[in-house]
Every structure is written in structure tokens, then in C-alpha cells.
Amino acid sequence: MRRPIRIALKAVAIYAAVSLTVAIVMAEMTLHPWRRPLPDKDKERIAHIYAQYGANLQPVIINAADGAELQAWYSVPIHDNGNAVILLHGIGDNRLGVAGYGQMFLQQGYRILLPDSRAHGESGGPIATYGLRESDDVHRWVSWLYERGATCVDGFGESMGAALVLESMGEEPRFCSVVADSPFSTFRSVAYDREGYFVGAGRLGLESVVGRSIGLLPAEIAFRYARWRYGVDLSQANPLDTLKSSTIPVLLIHGKNDVNILPRHSLILARANPAHAQLWLVPGARHGGAAAVAPQEFWFRVLRFLTDHNDGYAKNSSRMVFPVLVSRPKTARYKVRSDLKGRVFRRAVSSARGMGL
């Protein structure tokens, strides 16, 4: 009888030790995502493409509430419709990751702002907080756009950026509309999902179950570690609560084949506020892959949604020239090519780091 007890105690001790190690590593990687550089050659490519619409890449710097220096590009097309879109990238990425989307918005007359999120790209800030501090950062960017005469400011985000723009609606009620591609509903729930996925439960569709059972202890330790060491309660990163009480029109987009952030996150978000949130589930699309799988419908839906909720001028959708998007491969990096020219203007890093957002 004593032997089974000793074995059980050893197993518990090993599980606790492994959980502690995993928790600390997970927390540190999540709070300190890899900073993707902005090579000059990529800046030049994007500048050349944007120049087709009479737009320059204007560098912009503002200060966050905590003093962090936030950097962005601002572009205004020659045929300006008076409205602006702020585009937010995913984790471990930077403004280059959403610059490809900017081409279509410029073509339709929208001004665009491409910020590096805090702790990403060339922006300051020691840690990423998944909306806790970024919400006020977005609020400051939106104020900056309105100060420059924008009629309407719309938000567009991908992955982590989608969650950030949703969370920021609590701080920034002046959005005319928001488009969120592949967001998470709460940081806690996506953390559980990612843990289950990392141990292989995703193949069976059990990542949520495994994450909330075997992964429960390391996840909770990671949350407490982040609070203790950095004073950040990531469990409060919660787009769901913000969306519930918002009246801002929201278009949710999610690939049905997304294993990075499961489609159920957008389903939960849409059900939380059916009066103001629409959901488009895209067959065959992986994480952030809707524009690659169904580019015509993607841009028709996005631009129509913005037009329906903007007061300014919008072009006729029949004149759109859609970018040819290359499907996302299984590797961590993918490319999107510009329309007609075939130039590579977007390189993004998939969410394979930290929580994998």
C-alpha cells in the first residue's frame, strides 16, 4: 500500500515541478514576444506600392500613458474619402504584417494608420499586455486621427490585433465600425486552448478539455506569476466583456479551420451581442486566412460593412481590383503578393510564439 502512495506523491511532485517551469516560461514568452524587425527593403516595397495611390509612408510617434514611445506609419491616398482605418497586427509581428490590407483601403480612398503595438516592432514598452494597456494606446491613436480631420475612424485587427481593437472599444467609443479577424474571446480561455494544442490534443479536437484539466495548474501559475513579477493581470484581458456592453458595429471573421484560435471564440463573441455583432465563418480558412481563401468575398464584406457605417464617401465596389493572395502554408511564415505586380509586400510571422496568438 505504501508503494502506490509513494508513486502517487512522486507523480504529483513531478507534475507540480513541470507545471511551475512551464508556467514561468509561458508567462515570459507571452509578455515578451519576439520583436520582428522592419527591414529597409520591405519599407521600400510598401512605399512603392502605396505610391500608386498617391500615398506616402509618413512616420508618426506618440507617447503612451506610461511614457512608452509608440510608432506608426500614416498614409493618405490622393483620392481621400475622409475616413480612416487603424490596422492592428498579431503577436510577434509588426505593422508590416497588416500593410497588405492597407493597399485595398487606400485604393478605396481610406486614410490608413499602421501602428506597431507596444513591445512590438519599433514601438516601446517592456511587455505586451494583450489589451490591458494597449486599449488606451489605441484610444490615443484614434484621437490622433480625429485631430487630423477624419470623418470616421474604423478599426481593423488580425489575431491579437483583432482582440486589441475589440478591447479598445471600452476606452474608445468613437469607432464608426470594427472588423476583427480571428480574435480570442478571453485571454484565459485561449491560454487553456493553446496549452491543450501544444500537447497534441488539437488532433482530437480536445485542446479546450485538456487545457482546462491537465493545463489548468500551469496556466493559473502563469497568471499569478505575471501579476507578481510585472503587476499585470492577464486574466482581465477580455474582449468578450467589452463587446457585451458596446454599441459599435462589429464584423467578426474567422476561418473554420483555425487551430491557433478556435472559431468558437468568434461564435461566443457574436452571441454576446447579436444586435451589434455580425459573424462570417470562412470554410477552408486557417488562422487569419480568410483574405487568402476568399479574397473577393472578404473585401466585399469588409468594405461594404465599413461603407454601411461610415458617413463619408465610399467608392463603388464594382471598381475594386482585388489583391491576389497566396494561401498560408503550414510553416511559420507566409507571404501575400500585391495585385497585378506580383511583388511581395507582406511578410507576417504566424502565431507560434507565446500563447500562439
For the chain, residues with pLDDT lower than 50 are 201-202, 204, 209, 211, 312-357
What per-residue confidence (pLDDT) applies to 210? Answer: 55
At the topology level, CATH places domain 32-186+237-349 in Rossmann fold (3.40.50)
What pLDDT shows up at residue 168? 98
pLDDT of residue 20: 81
Report the pLDDT value the prediction gives residue 194, as an integer from 0 to 100.
Answer: 74
pLDDT of residue 199: 52
Secondary structure of the chain as H, E, C letters = CHHHHHHHHHHHHHHHHHHHHHHHHHHHHHHCCCCCCCCHHHHHHHHHHHHHHCCCCEEEEEECCCCCEEEEEEECCCCCCCCEEEEECCCCCCCHHHHHHHHHHHHCCCEEEEECCCCCCCCCCCCCCCCCCHHHHHHHHHHHHHHCCCCCEEEEEECHHHHHHHHHHHCCCCEEEEEEECCCCCHHHHHHHHHHHHCCHHHHCCHHHHHCCCCHHHHHHHHHHHHHHHCCCHHHCCHHHHHHCCCCCEEEEEECCCCCCCCHHHHHHHHHCCCCEEEEEECCCCCCCHHHHCHHHHHHHHHHHHHHHCCCCCCCHHHCCCCCCCCCCCCCEEEEECCCCCCEEEEEECCCCCCCC
* pLDDT at residue 21, as a whole number: 82
Q: What is the pLDDT of residue 213?
A: 54
pTM, to two decimals: 0.84
Q: Where are the domains of the chain?
A: 32-186+237-349
